[in-house]
């Protein structure tokens, strides 16, 4: 073996390799493995369940050239530094690369290095404190990989045999799908109830303010109709409004901890509207390195973490920064934050690598999306080490007759950590009150009665499902985004108005899996499996023993289900009264990967397909059906129109539900707005069921607009 003195450092991604290569300079070669090079084959089980669950590893398809290049470079190197990510997957990548090279060149020296940030000092420090490969981490990754393979390769064939070809199921994703389906059922079963609130318009010394009715006859008001509200307004006519009580309360608002992976994904979803996959993609770019002027800089620490811990050196840097720019908000000693019980604490919290690189100072070097995500990471970290904010809330009770109205006003006394917030700043709702005294009278200039409907459970969003998965111990920081992506790619869920909605196919799969494999789909069981994987990594559990405990009863249940579960292949196919206009045969309702559709009964000779009717057309004297339609060319937003178009020009932008209005018999639709979220309403503009007053008043005008759109586009 020839020795040219160079050290070969192997990372996972080319972007990371470019950044590190600039830092190290001569004497080092930096190469990227592009993730896993050795893995289980996709085409077969590749796990010997009869002999201690031995995996059959192969070179990943398409990666042979990369592995060959690394082996060739190993021939001419003094030492190899394995620098894949510091987690189970990264440890396994290093382990497999090392074994592949040793088979060819057994005399090569290897060292494992890890770092939490890509900075010159962190890289140098990592090289100076190398270690051996952590075989417990490798065992935990192997156990997780084999466990998922056993589940996936036994559940998927059941779905192929009993439902339709091409389906698949996964251990963790199926549990997430269950949560989404259960929430969807709650949403569908919820029936909104009408209620009203009453606001009084008050005035003193030409200064106007409003107060809400909070008490009527010594009880919390329950107003279910406009008539009840009008009765109270009538009762208060000509009565005096008198200030009964004034209270002031000060509140300490503590800064929040720097981000973990799940908290970053939640914040990016709610603040920036980013889906989890997008958040992690941008975070990866910031971590691996961005060109800032002539330098390439890793801007944030490793973005897959469940820890709120911050390195002492970083605490020193941020406190120096705060002392220089926000001296009055520097606490006497650093702020420390508790971690979740299940946190592994393998990495620091997500923070900027250089706190002096403020979002504004590097804005021109970042894309718009990178700048927004970096901004919230930087602001969260810096604010976490600042003093609390302090607010003062003044609450005023105004009494009139048997009613008590209340108003409040909040102002910040001390901004504290909020001084540094821009992207994360909250918009203050200002309700400025005049100077008031107990016992004095104020003038009422009118009332604002408002109709509402009770809100049901909200569908999960990226942020809320990740929060739930984390709380229940399902998945880990590296898997939250992939869980959602896999369910979407399989078309078991779709994203509508940032909400995650199970498809018909997803709900069918979920029903079958819950009934057939209640343990596998049990949230607590899945969380316990995650705990066992953690124990393997901590050297407190033997991986083969875990698989031996899991697999035999699972395989027994698989065989039982395959033998006894009734096939629904073709059962969901339903002959309809619709006739194919191309060949005259009846159309068949079938389940596809995008849901139900109509296909000609003459298939394969006739391949005509159509959308499934969702409801009867609500227009008088029309016997058409409402179907899903799109603009010409198939692009743009879906809408719902009549099959009798152009004779019938009815369309709606709201999806028909499989529910009839109890008042008029026409169908209900699902609507969404910022104020109320998702709610149900009758499609009939002349029916007031679940309509707000404003909707009812404007429905005819809206119908004219919709019909005009139909004439122009359908």
Query: CA-CA distance, 413 to 419, in Å (whole number)?
Result: 12
Structural contact between residues 547 and 557, judged by C-beta atoms closer than 8 angstroms: no
The mean pLDDT value for 675-694 works out to 70
169: DSSP letter: -
The structure tokens listed for 87 are 């987690």
Categorize the per-residue pLDDT at 593 as very low, low, confident or very high, splitting at 50, 70 and 90. low
pTM for this one?
0.80
pLDDT surpassing 80 at residue 232: yes
pLDDT in tens, 77-129: 989 999 999 899 999 999 999 999 999 999 999 999 999 999 999 999 999 99
Higher pLDDT, 316 or 671: 316
> Tens of pLDDT along 144-170?
999 999 999 999 999 999 988 888 899
Q: How far apart are CA 213 and CA 692, in angstroms?
A: 20
CB 434 within 8 Å of CB 207: yes
To the question of domain 7-133 being in CATH 3.40.1190.10, the answer is: no
Looking at residue 125, its pLDDT comes to 94
- Domain boundaries defined on the chain: 7-133, 142-190+458-564, 196-249+393-453, 261-384, 613-713
Question: Is 308 or 697 the better-scoring residue by pLDDT?
Answer: 308
DSSP annotation string for 533-551: HHHHHTTSS-HHHHHHHHH
What residues form DSSP beta bridges with 290? Answer: 297
pLDDT of residue 345: 66
Mean per-residue pLDDT, 621-636 = 71
Give the other-Cβ count within 10 Å of 109's Cβ: 10
| Protein fold of 142-190+458-564 | Topoisomerase I; domain 2 (1.10.460)
Does residue 634 have a pLDDT over 70? no
List alpha helices for 289-432, DSSP H. 312-325, 368-384
The domain defined by 196-249+393-453 folds into Topoisomerase I; domain 3 (2.70.20)
- What is the dotted CATH code of the domain comprising 261-384? 1.10.290.10
Q: Which DSSP state fits 89?
A: H
Please identify which residue in the block is written with the tokens 């499902």: 465
Is residue 302 annotated as a catalytic residue, yes or no?
yes
Which sign, positive or negative, has the C-alpha torsion 67, 85, 369, 315?
negative
Residue range 247-262: mean pLDDT, rounded: 96
Q: Which of 95, 274, 302, 326 is catalytic?
A: 302
């Amino acid at each position: 073996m020839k020795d040219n003195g160079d050290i070969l450092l192997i990372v996972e991604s080319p972007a990371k390799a470019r950044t590190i290569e600039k830092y190290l300079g001569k004497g080092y070669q930096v190469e990227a493995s592009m993730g896993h090079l050795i893995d289980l084959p996709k085409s077969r089980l590749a796990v010997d369940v009869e002999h201690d669950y031995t995996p059959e590893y192969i070179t990943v398809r398409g990666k042979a050239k990369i592995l060959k290049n690394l082996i060739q470079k190993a021939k001419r190197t003094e030492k190899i530094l394995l620098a894949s990510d510091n987690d189970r997957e990264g440890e396994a990548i290093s382990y497999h690369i090392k074994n592949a090279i040793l088979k060819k060149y057994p005399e090569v020296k290897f060292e494992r290095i890890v770092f939490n940030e890509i900075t010159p000092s962190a890289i140098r420090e990592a090289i100076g404190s190398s270690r051996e490969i952590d075989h417990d981490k490798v065992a935990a990754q192997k156990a997780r990989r084999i466990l998922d393979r056993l589940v996936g390769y036994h559940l998927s064939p059941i779905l192929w045999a009993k439902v339709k070809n091409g389906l698949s199921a996964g251990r963790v994703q199926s549990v997430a799908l269950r949560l989404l389906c259960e929430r969807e059922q709650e949403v569908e079963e919820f029936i909104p109830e009408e209620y009203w609130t009453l606001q009084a318009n008050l005035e003193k010394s030409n200064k106007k303010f409003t107060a809400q009715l909070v008490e009527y006859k010594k009880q919390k008001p329950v107003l279910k109709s406009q008539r009840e509200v009008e009765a109270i307004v009538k009762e208060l006519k000509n009565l005096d409004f008198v200030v009964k009580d004034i209270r002031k309360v000060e509140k300490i608002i503590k800064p929040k901890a720097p981000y973990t992976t799940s908290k970053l994904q939640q914040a990016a979803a709610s603040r920036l509207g980013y889906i989890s996959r997008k958040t992690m993609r941008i975070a990866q770019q910031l971590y691996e390195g961005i060109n800032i002027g002539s330098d390439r800089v890793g801007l944030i620490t490793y973005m897959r973490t469940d820890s709120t811990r911050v390195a002492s050196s970083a605490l020193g840097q941020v406190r120096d920064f705060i002392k220089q720019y926000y001296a009055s908000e520097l606490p006497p000693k650093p702020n420390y934050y508790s971690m979740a019980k299940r946190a592994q604490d393998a990495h620091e919290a997500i923070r900027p690598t250089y706190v002096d690189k403020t979002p504004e100072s590097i804005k021109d070097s970042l894309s718009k999306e990178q700048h927004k995500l970096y901004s919230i990471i930087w602001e969260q970290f810096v604010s976490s080490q600042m003093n609390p904010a302090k607010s003062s809330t003044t609450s005023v009770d105004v009494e009139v007759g048997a009613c008590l109205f209340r108003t409040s006003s909040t102002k910040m006394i001390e901004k504290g950590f909020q001084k540094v917030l821009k992207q994360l700043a909250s918009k203050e709702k200002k309700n400025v009150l005049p100077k008031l005294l107990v016992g004095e009278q104020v003038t009422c200039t009118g009332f604002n009665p408002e109709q509402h409907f009770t809100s049901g459970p909200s569908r999960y969003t990226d942020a809320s499902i990740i929060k739930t998965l984390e709380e229940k111990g399902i998945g880990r920081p590296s898997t939250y985004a992939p869980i959602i992506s896999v369910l979407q790619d399989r078309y078991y869920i779709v994203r509508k108005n940032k909400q995650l909605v199970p498809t018909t196919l997803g709900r069918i799969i979920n029903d079958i899996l819950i009934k057939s494999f209640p343990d596998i789909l049990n949230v607590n069981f899945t969380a316990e499996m995650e705990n066992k994987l953690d124990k393997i990594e901590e050297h407190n559990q033997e991986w083969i023993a875990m698989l031996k405990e899991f697999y035999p009863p699972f395989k027994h249940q698989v065989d039982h289900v395959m033998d006894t579960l009734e096939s629904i292949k073709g059962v969901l196919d339903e002959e309809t009264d619709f006739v194919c206009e191309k060949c005259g045969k009846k159309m068949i309702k079938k389940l596809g990967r995008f849901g139900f559709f109509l296909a000609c009964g003459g298939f394969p000779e006739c391949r005509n397909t159509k959308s499934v009717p969702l409801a009867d057309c609500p227009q008088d004297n029309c016997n058409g059906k409402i179907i899903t339609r799109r603009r010409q060319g198939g692009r743009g937003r879906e809408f719902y129109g009549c099959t009798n178009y152009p004779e019938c020009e009815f369309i709606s932008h709201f999806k028909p539900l499989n529910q009839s209005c109890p008042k008029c018999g026409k169908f209900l639709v699902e609507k969404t707005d910022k104020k109320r979220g998702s709610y149900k309403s009758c499609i009939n503009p002349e029916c007031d069921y679940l309509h707000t007053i404003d909707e009812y008043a404007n429905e005819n005008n809206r119908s004219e607009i919709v019909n005009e759109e139909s004439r122009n586009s359908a």
